[in-house]
């Protein structure tokens, strides 16, 4: 457990999206890797500038959808063919066109649920507290300000060098964030 007054990192506040994108690109080019950016709206290219990789959510959704569809189809096949065969009007016991609606619905249901759960789990949400909430003025990150935080856990982080680097990016202000 961290001490109450340990340094989480340094945060720079910017007035527009292009400034935080350029600052993030420069920070990544200078070797900083443990950093995050915050903005009131998505910024094209910001995830790449932070060095983020592609997410596993699409694969999770695909596999869950396939599992749901196959499970739904098997459930209907088993109930109609093995568990309770019931011949209605001479139709075959394995009538696959009748199984399509339930198969489709279970595919969509499992895919949608796994998309929500996968996204929340991979983003480690919900997170009711994060040290960045202690940054002065951070409440404006959801309104009109843009923030770049370089964490003290970064191997290249030193308080004076990182502060000087962030000051060179012409932010509105650079402040320390306590954990």
Whether 15 is covered by a domain: the verdict is: yes
Looking at the DSSP assignment, which residues form a beta bridge with residue 14? 146
65 shares its domain with 103: yes
Q: What pTM, to 2 d.p., does this model score?
A: 0.78
What is the end-to-end Cα distance of the chain in Å, rounded? 11
Q: pLDDT tens digits for 125-172?
A: 998 999 999 999 999 999 999 999 999 999 999 999 999 999 999 999
Q: According to the model, what pLDDT value does residue 1 have?
A: 47
In a domain, 132, yes or no: no
Is residue 6, in this structure, part of any structural domain at all? Answer: yes
Number of domains in the chain: 2
Judge whether 133 lies within some domain. no
Domain containing residue 63: 57-122
Show Cβ contacts of residue 19 under 8 Å, excluding neighbours closer than 6 positions.
146, 169, 170, 171
| Domain co-membership, 107 together with 150 | no
18 and 75 in a common domain: no
Residues 115 and 149 in one domain: no
In a domain, 47, yes or no: no
């Amino acid at each position: 457990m961290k001490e109450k007054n340990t340094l989480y990192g340094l945060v720079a506040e910017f007035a527009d999206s292009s400034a935080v994108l350029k600052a993030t690109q420069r920070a990544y080019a200078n070797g900083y890797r443990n950093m995050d950016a915050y903005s009131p709206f998505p910024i094209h290219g910001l995830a790449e500038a932070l060095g983020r990789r592609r997410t596993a959510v699409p694969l999770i959704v695909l596999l869950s959808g396939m599992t749901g569809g196959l499970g739904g189809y098997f459930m209907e096949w088993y109930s109609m063919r093995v568990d309770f065969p019931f011949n209605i009007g001479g139709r075959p016991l394995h009538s696959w066109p009748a199984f399509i609606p339930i198969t489709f619905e279970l595919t969509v249901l499992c895919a949608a649920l796994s998309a929500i759960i996968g996204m929340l789990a991979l983003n480690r949400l919900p997170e009711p507290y994060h040290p960045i909430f202690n940054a002065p003025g951070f409440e404006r990150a959801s309104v009109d300000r843009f923030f770049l935080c370089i964490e003290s856990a970064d191997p290249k982080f030193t308080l004076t060098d990182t502060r000087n680097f962030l000051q060179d990016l012409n932010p509105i202000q650079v402040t320390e964030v306590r954990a």
